[in-house]
Structure 1
Amino acid sequence: MRPFRTVELSPSLVEFGGLRFATVHSTLLGGRADVTLWAPSTPKPADLPLVILLHGVYGSHWAWALKGRVHHTARRLIEAGEIPPMALAMPSDGLRGDGTAYVPLVSGNYERWIVDEVPLVAREAVPEVTEASPRFISGLSMGGFGALRLGARYPKVFRGISAHSAATSLKTLSPFLAEPLPVGQSTVEEPTALEALVRNRASLPPVRFDCGVDDFLIGHNRDLHAALDQAQVTHEYEEFPGGHSWEYWEQNVERSLRFFARILSGESSATAV
């Protein structure tokens, strides 16, 4: 039995730079949902690793590819032999309001959409992605919050977590939403990245995050880094030149891909103590 009632995939003849576009009927969202996908054109191994990339507020499934050119970065690194072949899945967040924060709401379970259904969409579009494929999660801004929170909450699903310019809590996101999310912090399990990472520290996969020194979220990222250090949660944190911009994310997303490659090779040490 197929996991989705309907699946629409862009024909291979009109692929753009190796990208494919999928629209599925999501049971968890109660309607259609979109995912942009990419896989290398070079020979792909079975159980191809899958990287899920989450977008920020105001964005959608196309943002990482068309604004961040992440598939060009992945292709360059794979063809140079600097990372192993891996597929990319870039889902919409569910498209409610300005952003869903990838949390469960009455209008849809935007958390489980990412965790449960997006990997199934990838398997529909990329035959080499299987149930046994290693999965990783990354994101920017609101998507950084989603990556940190979901990666921590589902360590059996994700083998590595990376975030860029992350919002670190639902409260941090509030100023960017025209309408507040119809939940309070008290009604969402682990509403801050810190809470999710600390509560699940015993089973955390490797974790890294970075932020630009001119980013308005730099203080929140520094606070998260300090709090994780105090809680003795092993992680990697870095700061680089730049602000809250696509220029920064396009330049630094390769750090996520290289980090995941290190995990696959068994070299990463950013695991919880």
Structure 2
Amino acid sequence: MARITCDFFSEALTLNTSMTVILPEHKTNKLLPTLYLLHGFSDDHTIWTRRTSIERYVSELGIAVVMPNVDHSFYTDMAYGKKYWTFLTEELPQVARSFFPLSDKREDNFVAGLSMGGYGAFKWGLNKPDQFAAIASLSGVLNLAQHPQENTDHPMAQTLYNVFGGDNIEGSMHDIFHLTRKLDQSDEPKPMLYQACGTEDFLFEENIAFKELTDSLSLDVKTTFDSGTHEWGYWDYHIQEVLNWLPLK
């Protein structure tokens, strides 16, 4: 495998940003299937390669892995900050495909992430189901509508206010539960969904609530709840499960 870190100027963010990309070593004339792999709140584009063996896990799969840096944005055009949703969904795929031989076909594109990145993966895939064949969340923040903004002692409140500006998340493009119901009732393509969370994770209850929702719908969802907390040992193991689950040709 080849691991490359690219610095480039983002028009959406009006600043220099970075992405880390893993590419197969063996050359091919075919455009590569691509997994967009998203980081959590306290991390950046380098964390998956530093804390897991993702490079080794994908070495025989013939896919590219694109890992962008989105700061503390919750993969959103921030009310008081940068336009990370525009960067992620519009600019990043275009830039990555201009640098590397990546397929733009829906059946060749997947997105996954952990914690804040699990939220980002579901948010991206559910808002843009025509772009992805499969989306996966590990220990995801799946019910942001229930997280407080501003004027509380909750450690994330000010950050969420900076991102969403105090707007009501429920029923919006930022609400994973709303997006899931909407997709189930729509005629749009329906990506496969993968959800995993440790039973000792502080986000377990909202992951349980998401499973209860999907149990009532007709979407193709694989759920794994097993022993684990919010830590890299859990994610290193379960990203292997995600790779085995992906509908690779």
Short-chain TM bin = 0.7 to 0.9
SS of the residue corresponding to residue 72 of structure 1 reads: helix
- Paired residue type of 1:24: F
Secondary structure of 2:236 counterpart: helix
Q: Indicate whether 1:246 and 2:232 are aligned.
A: yes
Distance 1:52 1:172 in 2: 27
Structure 1 counterpart of 2:168: 186
Q: Give the residue type in structure 1 aligned to 2:67.
A: M
- State the match for 1:86 in structure 2: 63
SS at match of 2:92: helix
Q: How many residues align?
A: 235
Alignment partner for residue 48 of structure 1, among 32, 45, 67? 32
Are 1:197 and 2:197 counterparts?
A: no
Q: Hey, what does 2:156 align to over in structure 1?
A: 177
Q: Secondary structure at the match of 2:168?
A: helix
Residues 219-243 of structure 1, C-alpha deviations (whole Å, 9 max, x = no match): 1111100012124433111112221
> For 2:16 and 2:123, how far apart are their aligned partners in 1?
24
- Correspondences of 1:1-273 after superposition (within 5 Å): 18-75=2-59, 78=60, 84-93=61-70, 95=71, 99-106=72-79, 107-126=81-100, 128-132=101-105, 134-171=108-145, 175=154, 177=156, 179-181=158-160, 182=162, 183=164, 184-186=166-168, 189-201=172-184, 202=186, 203=188, 204-260=190-246, 263-265=247-249
Q: Distance in 1 between matches of 2:123 and 2:168?
A: 15
Asked if the contact 1:185/1:191 (under 8 Å) is kept, the reply is no
Identity of aligned residues (%): 23
Whether the 8 Å contact between 2:105 and 2:131 is mirrored in structure 1 is no
Q: What is the one-letter code of the residue matched to 1:247?
A: G
Cα RMSD between the aligned structures? Answer: 2.1
Quote the Cα distance in structure 2 between the aligned partners of 1:145 and 1:176: 18
Corresponding letter in the other structure for 2:69: S
3-state DSSP of counterpart to 1:200: helix
Counterparts in 2 of 1:173 and 1:52: CA distance versus 1, 3 Å: farther
How far apart are residue 65 of structure 1 and its match? 1.0
Instruction: Please give the TM-score of this superposition, normalised by the length of structure 2.
Output: 0.86
Which SS does the other structure have where 1:186 is aligned? Answer: coil
1:172, distance to aligned residue in structure 2 (A): 5.8
TM-score by length of 1: 0.79
Give me the whole-angstrom Cα distance separating, in 2, the residues matched to 1:245 and 1:135: 26
**Which string of whole-angstrom CA distances, capped at 9 and with x for unpartnered residues, describes residues 63-122 of structure 1?**
1111123112212xx1xxxxx3100000011x2xxx111012243221121112222232
TM-superposed CA distance for 1:185, in Å, is 4.4
Determine the C-alpha separation between the residues in 1 that align with 2:9 and 2:169. Answer: 27
Quote the Cα distance in structure 2 between the aligned partners of 1:185 and 1:206: 30
Question: Residues 169 and 175 of structure 2 are in contact (CA less than 8 Å); yes or no, is this contact kept in structure 1?
Answer: no
Q: What are the ranges of 5 or more consecutive residues in structure 2 without an aligned counterpart?
A: 149-153
**Whole-angstrom distance in 1 between the partners of 2:158 and 2:51:** 25
Rounded Cα–Cα distance in structure 2 between residues aligned with 1:248 and 1:218:
13
